[in-house]
Structure formats: structure tokens, C-alpha cells
Structure 1
């Protein structure tokens, strides 16, 4: 049985899952669907065509499903989908999509979104991510699984962040970050591999050595980057992580690749 505080406003048409608690002064729009066993502690706003999975905990003043912050938006019926098991802390904002961006903002399972973090319109965010305080995504950003984005960092629109990336604090991320990458600095530069994260994903010492050798050859070897990239293609067979990085680079469309500082090639 759901528990709804008498001060909460639930519009007709909203769907509230079994065992969900809606706390004081929450506002739930008519097109919202909230899964089972969620907790909206107080003062949470869920608007638009928003679907939230089971077992999410949402803190005060989170605003989910608001209109995209895009000047072209004209009130179209676009969506926000949030997976199960997410923790959404105070003041977090997540916007619905735009028609030109596909109409959907999607957030995966088991994310931890610290206070005042933001997921912009048409973003796709993977599973098991952590957004620290005020981590911000512009529109159309793609974020892979097991990504950590540090506090006060902002990601430029249309940028891709591969799986298992770590972004340091106070970074402006303007280029695509390879899977397993570690980026840092005011304008984020690639500093190496996220070795701690890779160990947590059970990479053996042998695999780490193989991927490190590939990384050094690709990003710090002789010649210009395009030549090194071409020469590194046969290494895809050496480890699935290497193949994933090379595929990610090859799929780039909108933004340049985030490279080590000083490597403009």
C-alpha cells in the first residue's frame, strides 16, 4: 500500500507504485509514473511525461521532468525515463527531451546523483553512475556505465563519455572521453586510465598491463595522433577493452576527442 502525505498534490492520471511513499508538499503531475517502493521525502516535483523505476529515493527540491532548457522547445510531449534503484539528492534537475533530439532523456539504474546535479535534455546516462555535487550535463550528452563525474564539473552538449570514466572536479569537458579514461583540469585533458575503476571491474594484472601498453602507444607514441591511431588498430584483438576504446573513437561524430594536454593532433 502506498503512503501519500495529505499535503502532497497528486494530479489525476498519475500512477503511484505499490509501497511508494510520497512525503509532504510533493507535486506529482498527471503524466508521471512512479514505480514500486520509491520514497519521495518532501517537496519533490515530478512533471511532464516522466517514468521513475522502483526503489528510488528522491530528496527535497528535486525537479524531475521539467521542460528542456532549449529555445526550440514548443511544449511537445517528450519524455524522461529514470531507472530503478537511483538515489536523487536535494535540488537535482532532470529534463525531458526535445523532438529534434529523439524526444527522450534516459537515466539508467542504480545512479547516485548528489545535490544540484543536472541531466539535460536528450541525454543518455548509463547504469551505476555517480554525479558529485553540481555535476552538469548539457543536452544530448551520452554517459556510459560506471562513470564518476566530479563536483562542479560540466560536460559540453553532444559530448560522449565512455564507460568506466572518471572525471575530476571542476572540469569543463569539451571532448569525447575514451572508455576507462581519467580526465582532469579546468578544461579536461586525458591524464591516463581509470586504473582504480578497472581493478574494481576485476581487470587482472595482465589485462591492465596490456591496456596500459596500448594507451601509451596510442597517446604518447611517436608521430601524429592519426598515424598512431591507424597503427594501433591491430591491437583490438589483444583485449576487449582495447577494441572498445578503438570502436568508441571510430564512432565519434559531434565533438573532438579528449586528448592529453599538449597533444593537439
Structure 2
């Protein structure tokens, strides 16, 4: 894990001016927990603001003492009215920051590196930004190599980052074409597939999940080496996307056969 990288507390001397200069090209970290996680996993953060600096540091004392020193240097207090002009949706913790997005080349190298010790999660043409964020949070928690999306959804959209609680910086998150997916056996979740409980998922697997509405695309289904299904009671239509990913990663983590 990389050491936290906090930028100067006031950038060019004015945190609001720094924010507005960098906002269009940076990753928005919305809330204390997103900032906490980004710091833990080595994000470069040039500016962070809060409505109540004392309260934010007290939260760090309670929940994240490992990044308290970095936050002491980084956090700048701004009026609530100003804070509300900087973020699209104020967070209950009244904390926000901007981070530098990791280089795409770095992530592509991590995804392509072999041998892999943990799977890559593939979201095939996902539609729901919140679900995508929840999946990234899950993947980071399980130590997955990365999360790849296909289709038009931007996995670094602010709503996805908010749903991921800043854990985009704990794994490799990129958007790719199906033809450009990393190497490795591709296990695609499908109701007609083999029961996952009878399978062992290898560490170098690609674990692919179809969109919430239409399932797997024809292109990904053709690329799949194995179709697998999750246990489900008859007449239940489907699981939430993040739930399906959680069940699959848990099965992998247990090394079940």
C-alpha cells in the first residue's frame, strides 16, 4: 500500500481558487470516508475542504487515526455557502477533496500483469452508476486485481466514485472494449450456466456480469470460457448486481469446489 500523499493545505494560497482551477480535470472525493480511503491508498490530493475542520479532524481521531496527520496538513475550512458551490450534492460530513486520476497506462499494466493472484471483475455494459460504485468498493475489499467496465458508463463518474467510497484508488478501474479485456479464463454469470457451487474459480479469472437490464452482451458471451450461475430460489428474477459480485467474490475467496 502506498503512503498517503497530501498536497499543500492551501495550494496557491486560496483553496477555493485551487479547487475551481482543478475541478474539471480531477476526481471528486465526496465525503470524509472517500477522502480517508483515497489517502490510505496513495491518491495524490492537491486540495481538500470542509465546513468544520475541527469536526472533520475529530472524525479522523475516531475512525481514521492513520490519516489524521495528512488531514491536518490538507484540510482547509471554508464557509458552508462556499462549500455548497463546489460540490453537486453536499455530503453529510461536509468534507470534499479533489484527487489526481491514476494514469491509465498504470492501470492497464496492472490488469495485464501475470500471474495474477486475484480475479478481475468485468461489468459488461453496466447502467446504474451507484451499482458500479458498490462493485468497486466490493472488489477493493476482496483485493481484486481490478474492475473493468465495457460500454458507455464512465467508471470514474463522480456518482460512481461516491458509491465506491474513494476505493477506486485501491484497485485498477478502467473502461475497455470486450476485445481488449485482459487475458485469463472468463467466467460469465448467466442463469443458464453451471452452478457456481460446483466450480473452483481460479485466481487469474475474469468474472463477468451483465447489465442490470439486459444481461450479457452477445460479444462477451461469445468470449466467455464458462457460463456460471448463482443459486437462486425459483420465481426470483435476479439479484442486484453488487450482490451477485459479492457472492461470486466470496465463493472465489473461499477456494470452494
TM-score of the pair, normalised by structure 1 = 0.26
Q: Which has the higher strand share?
A: 1
Which structure shows the higher helix fraction? Answer: 2
TM-score between both structures, scaled by the size of structure 2: 0.27
